[in-house]
Amino acid sequence: MSQPRQMPGVARSPVGRLAVDWIACSGRGLCAELVPERIGLDEWGYPIIAAEPVTGDLLPHARRAVAACPKLALRLQPS
Cα four-point dihedral sign 70, 16, 45, 25: negative
Least distance from C-beta 44 to another protein, angstroms? 4
Q: CA 9: distance to chain centroid?
A: 19
Give the nearer residue to another protein in terms of CB position, either 25 or 34: 25
Of 8, 23, 70, 78, the one binding another protein (CB under 8 A) is: 23
Of 21, 33, 64, 68, the one binding another protein (CB under 8 A) is: 21
Give the nearer residue to another protein in terms of CB position, either 50 or 56: 50
Task: Give residue 20's region: left, alpha or beta (phi > 0; psi -120 to 50).
Answer: beta
